[in-house]
Amino acid sequence: MTAPTVDRGGDVAGAGDALAAEELVEELGGPSPLWRWVGTPVVLAGVCAALYVYVQGQDLDRIEEAALNAPMIRQRVLEHLELTAVSTFFVIVIAVPLGMLVTRPATRRLAPAVLAVANVGQSIPSIGILVLLAVVVGIGFEQAITALVLYAVLPVLRNTMVGLDQVDRSLIEAGRGMGMTARQVLLRIELPLAVPVMLAGIRTALVINVGTAALATFIGAGGLGWIINQGNIHDRTPVLVTGSVLTAVVALALDWIAGIVEDLLRPKGT
């Protein structure tokens, strides 16, 4: 929060209401932006370096070498990122407009039904969806994406709805009262003010997708899950550790990027 440098007069604190509370949460809510922006990559780089030193220190057999070589690791990381990016893209494209739709006065009554469907998507274990899809439509990248999207729609949908609903009704009334159309109110008032909550949902979806993408290997879609699985079936600890640590690093790195985007897209003045 930027504290204005000018004297704001006496009654600001009293009038601050919800904003003051938000500021307080922000102050209590741990590290400053600088630490959040710089700290995470430093820690993650340290973890990667430690992992490298650990693997270099091992005497690798042929099975381990087949999994732990630079081209293979690069390929699996890229596969993992692709699964995450594509699924998150579709989650946003589906859930954000849907959330906008079910918060409009005319279509608001659809909200419970839509939420129920999204809830089902999330409450079925993702491995279950993956296997079901594999049985019904076969294995591959598209099936993996479908499963990931189904699983991650809910947080984005719910946060879009909450984000739009928490916009102060009086702002909407003021907007309509001065002659803005419903569409202008949505685009210029409601959406910009809902952005922080919506982004939080997208960030959650992203993290869910990174984690769930590790399961995609079971229907032949690759990703870092493949390395973990290799370590598991051949009982090779270095392979297992490398796969797990890399999955965690990718997850944290994406979450870090999402956090920066959140900071940058927060509407000014709030």
Tokens describing residue 25: 């949460």
Eight-class DSSP state of 266: S
DSSP-based three-state secondary structure for 65: helix
**Least distance to another protein, CB of residue 74, Å:** 42
For another protein, the closer of residues 142 and 173 by Cβ is 173
Distance CA 88, CA 255 (A): 13
Q: Which residues of 174-186 are buried (b: 16+ CB within 10 A; e: fewer)?
A: ebeeeebeeeebb
Residues in contact with 212: Cβ distance below 8 Å, sequence separation at least 6, in sequence order: 126, 147, 148, 151, 152
Residue 179, CA distances (Å) to 172, 190, 194 in order: 11, 15, 21
CB of 191 to another protein, least distance (A): 10
Distance from C-alpha of 191 to C-alpha of 159, rounded to nearest angstrom: 12
Contact track, another protein, 36-65, x by CB under 8 A: ------------------------------
- Separation between Cα atoms, residue 181 and residue 174, nearest integer Å: 11
Q: Under the criterion CB under 8 A, does residue 107 sit at the interface with another protein?
A: no
Q: Tell whether residue 4 is a contact of another protein (CB under 8 A).
A: yes
Q: How far is the CB of 25 from another protein (least distance, A)?
A: 15
Instruction: Tell me how far, at minimum, the Cβ of 188 lies from another protein, in Å.
Output: 8
d(CA 19, CA 13): 10
Work out whether 105 is an interface residue with another protein (CB under 8 A): no
For residues 129 and 145, give the distance between their C-alpha atoms in angstroms, rounded to a whole number.
11
6 binds another protein (CB under 8 A): yes
Q: How far apart are CA 250 and CA 81, in angstroms?
A: 8
Q: CA–CA separation, 117 vs 110, rounded Å?
A: 11
Dist CA 218 CA 232 (whole Å): 13
Binding another protein (rule: CB under 8 A), the pick from 184, 233, 237, 263 is: 184
Say whether residue 8 binds another protein (CB under 8 A).
Answer: yes
CB 20 to another protein: min, Å: 9
Nearer to another protein, 69 or 270 (CB): 270
62/268 with CB nearer another protein: 268
Q: Which amino acid is at 227?
A: I
> Residue 10, interface with another protein (CB under 8 A)?
yes
Binding of another protein by 265 (CB under 8 A): no
The 152-181 site mask, x for binding another protein (CB under 8 A), equals: ----------------x-xx-xxxxxxxxx
When binding is defined by CB under 8 A, the residue of 189, 208, 210, 250 that contacts another protein is: 189
Q: Using CB under 8 A, list all residues that contact another protein.
A: 4, 6, 8-12, 14-16, 19, 168, 170-171, 173-181, 184, 188-189, 192-193, 267-270
